[in-house]
Structure 1
Amino acid sequence: MSYTASYIENFAEYIRASPSSYHAVAEAARRLELAGFTEQRETDEWLAGPGRRYVLRDGAIIAWVAPEGAGAVTPFRILGAHTDSPGFKLKPRPTIGSNGWLQAGVEVYGGPLLNSWLDRELELAGRIVTLDGEVRLVRTGPFLRIPQLAIHLDRDVNSGLVLDKQRHTAPVFGVGDRSQADLVGILAALAGLADGSEVAGYDILTADTNPPARFGLDDVLFAAGRMDNLSSVHAGLTALVAEAEALAIAPHISVFAAFDHEELGSESRSGASGPFLDDVLTRIGTSLGATVDQRARAFADSWCLSADAGHAVHPNYPERHDPANLPVAGGGPLLKINANQRYATDAFGAALWKRACERAGVAYQEFVSNNAIPCGSTIGPLTATRLGIRTVDVGAPLLSMHSARELAHVDDLVALSAAIGAFFAPAG
């Protein structure tokens, strides 16, 4: 099997194991444990000295390799990504229904392409918290579907589909009297609990159950759900594990940070605007004896690579892109640039990314938005603002971003991880 085939198969396995941010960090932790990383609990005394460690906070995870000889002014090389994706989240009192149909009450999470979620077999996945504070992950497998109205009942649908987020997005999961069905009880049973009365709270989201697939001429296309932004999470995780031995003697502390809630603006305790990364870097520095001045010196020599999915040029809508910057599928990962700092890349960051890609032996492409179309943003500017660490924004080019099922070129996914590995590597 070629390296590309092996990487894509491994990525597909990661996606299948990660229908929610909580599952994504659990799978990341499992893989880190197999690679010799040790969990650092936030409530425990911080482990000092060299080694491979990780810490979990809700749907976020930070892992790092502290090299031999790391000291108070040792800089950081940080890869930042996010674990969440747009979709729907289960509401309180979620068992609803109409006209004999059983339905789930859901709230729109982030900014999904609503029409892409229609007529798909969906699952519910996330975490349940019991009355005694125990966390249990749960997933239903294929269970729900948001049915579209037949064209016979809406003859103008192909002239423009308009979905009301409250009335038209409630998925069906059965038929009957809703007083006889209990979604919370169903989830509780799947989590190994006696009944829904043991559930004190839950964070449950929808995910597409259609498995990832390679297809097209020479199998170069790859389709899957949640590639925004599991493509970056998996790339960073894979790079950190692959380079872990070499990083034990690196001149910097290598950090993999995957945050939650980016699709909502990152303002949470586990989001990039929250304190998680600062908490971890501070505790690492303190364990190495860093003073306030030494921490500032370490940050001044540090880098963050903010990796999030970007836009490949759409063949049916090329006018939506900048005419001089048209990144193509298979042309390499993106260097994302925005004059208004929606991306954090500057000239120094561009030079760093160019060196990393050259060391990895991969091509890259610049992405800049069409002036007439507002640009999205990433965790990059947030991290740069909070910590003052120089940051550069990159990512794999996709089509159908924020769809229930997105599209990428396999070579771009592999190249992104290779470039991240070169960013982490000791000679970077």
Structure 2
Amino acid sequence: MDIKNAWIKYRGNDREKVLDFAEGYKNFLSACKTERECVDRIIGEAREQGYLDLEEVIRTGASLKPGDKVYANNMGKALALFQIGKKPLEHGMRILGAHIDSPRLDLKQNPLYEEGEQALWETHYYGGVKKYQWVTLPMAVHGIVVKKDGTRIALNIGEHEEDPVVGISDLLIHLSGKQLAKKGNEVIEGEDLNVLVGSCPVSEGEDEEKEPVKARVLQILKETYEIEEDDFLSAEIEIVPAGRARDCGLDRSMIMAYGHDDRVCAYPSYQAMFRVNEPEYTSVCLLVDKEEIGSVGATGMQSRFFENMVAEVMNAAGDYSELKVRRALSRSRMLSSDVSAAFDPNYPQVMEKKNAAFLGKGVVFNKYTGARGKSGSNDANAEYLGSLRKVMDDNQVTFQTAELGKVDQGGGGTIAYILANYNMEVIDCGVAVLNMHAPWEIASKVDIYEAYRGYQAFLRDM
């Protein structure tokens, strides 16, 4: 099937809409490099759009009616937005689900040490990464430290021109003979991803220290942030690439940034929620954590958070029962908004071109993901795909279908199969990305805009 490049249908002011949407997304990506930063920003925007805190609704005993908008915050790292539809919730919902965590380096709980008169932080990589890609780059420090008295200290170091950056050193080429003879997954070991944070000892005349460079780093943390070494025990600090999202290509048609996977789907998902009013079915935007490590934990998709919030919303709407919650979930339809692998001309051998996603050809539907014999995948029903094709065509949304590489080449998964456990109709639908899981990924502006338009059509017409 021949799918025309989506840019072709945009001319003049219509093309400006694509570019304007991309600017908003770039600002979001540049400001939101952790799950907590994403949740904080989205809640701020949601409140401006008239969304109320579900906890406040529950506390006051307020009632929800069609058209009302609420959000539920899960520990500051996951979020659900609801807009109550005209039909009772037990008729089902229209759900956009994405994840807001991305591959990165996390500080260990006892990270700081000194070696060779250099101070370093030990890290533990998060998600599937090629470890050699994460060295010799300017990196930023994002996260929170929670002290014993409950005080929360936010860290964001390395994103402003005047900020220092940190980074991981690599062996110079002149001494790399043995290193370069190793397999790619062994060139940089996990325990070698140690972040350089200082090389200056405490000033002469101060108390003599066995580890004077480490002592200087601790002195700076104390003076600047009121952080003691023991406070790392109750901290979540992420090391991420420093710098803003940038236009990519001489034609500025793409965006190079950290965190496209999967904020490139999260952003158009919640923006689509803001543009759909008075839906027939209750609209939901579900943004979760921990997808990159199996959707585990209280803020991952495998938790009961979403199910519990559906029950709370139904109760506030005066229509709760356990049976109705089960019906609401099983009768729902969902787009699992996650990225797909874009065809890379440098590595054509891993793709089967008739079933690959291409930059510029619109939002991508993956009927199934998984690995080898579709292991670990959600395989969407043909009837559901047929309905989606009609909605996309009726709304002139450019879309393509794809698999994640050749059969037996590799594979991957999303949150789709977890929601399918409720017996709802689910399919993966997202944006094609180059350099997936690398510090800097690439996506097409027009694909992001087509995802936004497709998500609106889904909420409105499915």
TM-based fold match above 0.5: yes
Aligned residue identity for 1:418: R
Please, which of 104, 115, 120 is the counterpart of residue 121 of structure 2? 104
Aligned residue identity for 1:4: V
Aligned residue identity for 1:281: V
Counterparts of 1:314 and 1:48, CA distance in 2: 51
- The sequence identity of aligned pairs, in percent, is 20
Shift of 1:424: 1.0
- State the SS of the aligned residue for 2:192: coil
Question: Partner of 1:424 in structure 2?
Answer: 459
Shift of 1:188: 6.8
- Equivalent positions of 1:146-161 (< 5 A) are 146-155=168-177, 161=184
Question: Partner of 1:138 in structure 2?
Answer: 155
Question: Partner of 2:406 in structure 1?
Answer: 370
Shift of 1:95: 1.1
Counterparts of 2:165 and 2:306, CA distance in 1: 36
Counterparts of 1:264 and 1:319, CA distance in 2: 28
* 1:217–1:362 CA distance, 2 compared to 1 (3 A): farther
- State the SS of the aligned residue for 1:233: helix
- Say whether residues 1:358 and 2:393 are aligned partners: yes
* 1:187–1:412 CA distance, 2 compared to 1 (3 A): farther
Asked if the contact 2:272/2:452 (under 8 Å) is kept, the reply is yes
Worse overlay, 225-234 or 119-128: 119-128
1:42-83 deviation per Cα after TM superposition (whole angstroms, max 9, x unaligned): 89536531311111113111111113x453524211111111
Please, which of 312, 319, 324 is the counterpart of residue 294 of structure 1? 324
* 1:343–1:73 CA distance, 2 compared to 1 (3 A): closer
Counterparts of 1:364 and 1:144, CA distance in 2: 40
- Say whether residues 1:409 and 2:444 are aligned partners: yes
Counterparts of 1:137 and 1:359, CA distance in 2: 46
Question: Partner of 1:175 in structure 2?
Answer: 199
Count of aligned pairs: 419
Worse overlay, 37-46 or 171-180: 37-46
Counterparts of 2:108 and 2:399, CA distance in 1: 42
Question: Partner of 1:66 in structure 2?
Answer: 84
- Say whether residues 1:31 and 2:60 are aligned partners: no
Normalising by the residue count of structure 1, what TM-score does the alignment of the two structures yield?
A: 0.91
Aligned residue identity for 1:303: R
Aligned residue identity for 2:345: P
- Equivalent positions of 1:207-226 (< 5 A) are 207-226=240-259
Counterparts of 2:223 and 2:72, CA distance in 1: 29
Asked if the contact 1:118/1:145 (under 8 Å) is kept, the reply is yes
Asked if the contact 1:140/1:187 (under 8 Å) is kept, the reply is no
1:344-399 deviation per Cα after TM superposition (whole angstroms, max 9, x unaligned): 422133224323322442211111141122320000001112x2222111110011
- Say whether residues 1:14 and 2:28 are aligned partners: yes
1:80-107 deviation per Cα after TM superposition (whole angstroms, max 9, x unaligned): 1111111110111211232122111111
Question: Partner of 1:233 in structure 2?
Answer: 266
* 1:189–1:395 CA distance, 2 compared to 1 (3 A): farther
Counterparts of 1:117 and 1:352, CA distance in 2: 42
- Say whether residues 1:49 and 2:64 are aligned partners: yes
Question: Partner of 2:239 in structure 1?
Answer: 206
Rg larger for: 2
Counterparts of 1:380 and 1:335, CA distance in 2: 12
1:264-301 deviation per Cα after TM superposition (whole angstroms, max 9, x unaligned): 10111110111111111121123332323323332332
Counterparts of 1:262 and 1:83, CA distance in 2: 8
Flag structure 2 segments of 5+ consecutive residues without an equivalent: 1-12, 159-163, 201-211, 369-373
- State the SS of the aligned residue for 1:214: strand
Asked if the contact 1:62/1:258 (under 8 Å) is kept, the reply is yes
Question: Partner of 1:315 in structure 2?
Answer: 345
* 1:199–1:290 CA distance, 2 compared to 1 (3 A): same
Asked if the contact 1:22/1:127 (under 8 Å) is kept, the reply is no
Shift of 1:198: 6.5
- State the SS of the aligned residue for 2:328: helix
Shift of 1:40: 2.1
Question: Partner of 2:377 in structure 1?
Answer: 342
Counterparts of 2:199 and 2:49, CA distance in 1: 47
Shift of 1:116: 2.0
* 1:319–1:194 CA distance, 2 compared to 1 (3 A): closer
* 1:171–1:360 CA distance, 2 compared to 1 (3 A): farther
Asked if the contact 2:288/2:299 (under 8 Å) is kept, the reply is yes
1:289-344 deviation per Cα after TM superposition (whole angstroms, max 9, x unaligned): 23233233323321111011110111111111124312211011111123445144
Question: Partner of 1:284 in structure 2?
Answer: 313
- Say whether residues 1:383 and 2:419 are aligned partners: yes
- State the SS of the aligned residue for 1:79: strand
Worse overlay, 74-83 or 228-237: 74-83
Asked if the contact 2:109/2:232 (under 8 Å) is kept, the reply is no
Counterparts of 1:143 and 1:259, CA distance in 2: 29
1:1-46 deviation per Cα after TM superposition (whole angstroms, max 9, x unaligned): 8111111111111111111111111111111112111122389536
Aligned residue identity for 1:298: A
1:240-264 deviation per Cα after TM superposition (whole angstroms, max 9, x unaligned): 1122xx2xx2221111111001111
Counterparts of 1:47 and 1:121, CA distance in 2: 49
- State the SS of the aligned residue for 1:324: helix
- Say whether residues 1:332 and 2:362 are aligned partners: yes
* 1:220–1:187 CA distance, 2 compared to 1 (3 A): farther
Aligned residue identity for 1:56: N
Normalising by the residue count of structure 2, what TM-score does the alignment of the two structures yield?
A: 0.84
Worse overlay, 160-169 or 268-277: 160-169
